[in-house]
Copies of this chain bind each other. A is one copy, B any other.
Amino acid sequence: MHIHNQLLITDIPRRNMYLFGNKVAIVFKRMRISHREFYARTNKVANALMHLGLRKGSRCAILAKNNNAYLECFYGVPKAGGVFVPLNYRLSPRELVHILNDCCPQILIYDERFGDKVDSIKDRVNVENFISLGGPQGSEGEYEQLLDQSSKEEPEISLSQLGSEDDCCIIYTSGTTGMPKGVVLTQRNMVANMWGVQVAYRCTHLDTHIAVMPFYHAGSLQYSAVHYAVGGTVVILERFDVEDFFRVVEREKVTTAFLVSSLLERLAEEWKKSDYDIRSLRLIFYGASGIPRERLKEILSTFECQFTQGYGMTELGPRGVSYFTPEDHEAAMKNPAKERRLSSCGTVTPTVEIKIVDDSGKILSAGEIGEICVRGEPVFRCYWNNEKETEQALRDGWFHTGDLGFLDEDGFLYIVDRKKDMIISGGENIYSAEVEKVILSHPCVLDCAVFGIPDKEWGEAVHAMIVLRPGMRTSEKEIVEFCKQHMASYKKPRSIQFVDFIPRNSMGKIVKQELRDQYLKNSEGSRTHNGSR
């Protein structure tokens, strides 16, 4: 232990055991785990894994729904010197095999409900040990047995042989092109991220956080981890359900929650009808993407609590680059002159530096759109096994996010589009996300995806895929007219496809490259078909 060094992720359970020993750290189903017990359990995880032969730097993956073991492994695996790899349980077997053969975990801990999935890939991966967590019916798995057999003493490696530069986690991003990439986060990254998250939630030992989003989502995991880290309580739900949510908020006097935008919308609808006493909820951190500003204002005014949202990514572990704070929300809701800021993702957090650059690397001024670049302690070390992508992303002292955005005069950051989703038509830059926002604000539209397709005259042309709300009807012409009313005419779609649904990847993201490829293949096919008539 070095006096001046960063406290590591692995130091936190010991710290909390000493300060908050008898306090409840984790609530899951009927389990109430105190900070003292949690410390012991993270030690047992580490000792059990080392007994199975886990060596420093080896990976230990987890494939599970939300449960206490997830957080125990998040803190416990690095205590053995291991690297924790949360896996998205929505991934196809093919994708899982790709990831497992990419990071080659020595151990895979899995929820028995995914037993079939695990069985189906066992032969195609090089995992030495599989540890089951027990089933959905509460049957005890090997995990609990292993813990029972292990010492609750903190292993020596955790006490004195770890450092800030050790790898701590690998989190796979879905990537909107190609196969998932493993984002390697060191202890330094994770710790910096954690305290950055604390600033967003302003969480203290007095808070109780409800974890409803899946832990394979880097945000959900970190946000829960930080509430534990400050000595608070984390109440874990296996999945989101409105009724459960309200009941647990009332029972546990929950103070903070993290919700993606679609769940925020659903919750808003039920909020006023609810009979539960949910006044304890003081802050909701929400994913802002995809909600038009007017609708967002409406949603937020439903609740009687504070709000935070931000701009982050797995490469920052997934700490926000910027946060739109409760005070920013208050100002924007009250003051029409500041309402526009509801579409921003706030101001840049203090421990990172950002710049917006054009393609030549020139630093742009307020109002000018360019690629957002970030540097500072939260920035990931590398993509696992992927030197090319790492070099592409981390260059000239900056992480190039691939996101396009701009800063306004007051330092608020606006995200405009993914760089590779920008459409260049007739020499003009058209941001697909902007066109999508306009189309989504049309009352008949439920979902939409906009991307560029090759065009002889314009280079690229704007193409829109649209899903209508049930029972609603409209025409291509009406949508185009609507677009012309709400943005510059050159941005309007040149062609529209009405479809039943927009395909998304396992993280819920639209993979535009695939949509475009599919579209081109189909239209080529139809042309071929036409030609062969």
Minimal Cβ-Cβ distance residue in B for A374: B3
Given contacts A198-B350, A206-B327, A353-B11, contact A3 B411 (CB under 8 A): no
Bound Cα distance A327, B283 (Å): 14
Q: A3 is contacted by which of B7, B204, B397 (Cβ under 8 Å)?
A: B397
Bound Cα distance A53, B353 (Å): 30
Minimal Cβ-Cβ distance residue in B for A202: B202
| Inter-chain contacts of A399 with B (CB < 8 A) | 3
Q: Does A381 reach chain B (CB closer than 8 Å)? A: yes
Q: Does A489 reach chain B (CB closer than 8 Å)? A: no
Minimal Cβ-Cβ distance residue in B for A159: B397
Q: A1 is contacted by which of B21, B195, B375 (Cβ under 8 Å)?
A: B375
From A12-20, A432-440, A460-468, the one touching the partner chain is A12-20
Bound Cα distance A194, B351 (Å): 10
Minimal Cβ-Cβ distance residue in B for A188: B4
Q: Is the pair A3, B375 in contact by a Cβ cutoff of 8 Å?
A: yes
| Interface bits A409-434 vs B (CB < 8 Å: 1, else 0) | 11100000000000000000000000
The smallest beta-carbon distance between A416 and chain B, in angstroms, is: 18
Minimal Cβ-Cβ distance residue in B for A363: B18
Interface residues of A in 186-227 (CB under 8 A from B): 186, 188-189, 191-192, 194-195, 198-199, 202, 204-206
Q: Does A5 reach chain B (CB closer than 8 Å)? A: yes
The smallest beta-carbon distance between A202 and chain B, in angstroms, is: 6
The smallest beta-carbon distance between A298 and chain B, in angstroms, is: 25
Interface residues of A in 318-364 (CB under 8 A from B): 325, 327-328, 331, 347-348, 350-355, 363
Minimal Cβ-Cβ distance residue in B for A1: B397
Q: Does A398 reach chain B (CB closer than 8 Å)? A: yes
Interface residues of A in 52-99 (CB under 8 A from B): none
| Inter-chain contacts of A376 with B (CB < 8 A) | 4-7
| Inter-chain contacts of A375 with B (CB < 8 A) | 1-3, 5, 7
Q: Is the pair B407, A19 in contact by a Cβ cutoff of 8 Å?
A: yes
Q: Does A518 reach chain B (CB closer than 8 Å)? A: no
Q: Does A370 reach chain B (CB closer than 8 Å)? A: no
Minimal Cβ-Cβ distance residue in B for A327: B206
| Inter-chain contacts of A20 with B (CB < 8 A) | 410-411
Q: Is the pair A394, B327 in contact by a Cβ cutoff of 8 Å?
A: no
| Inter-chain contacts of A14 with B (CB < 8 A) | 353
The chain A residues found within 8 Å of chain B, CB to CB, are 1-7, 11, 14-15, 18-23, 186, 188-189, 191-192, 194-195, 198-199, 202, 204-206, 229-231, 325, 327-328, 331, 347-348, 350-355, 363, 366, 375-377, 379-381, 394, 397-399, 407, 409-411
Known: A1-B397, A11-B353, A21-B366. 13 other contacts (CB 8 A): A1-B398, A3-B375, A3-B394, A4-B186, A4-B380, A4-B381, A5-B375, A5-B377, A6-B377, A195-B199, A204-B347, A205-B347, A206-B328
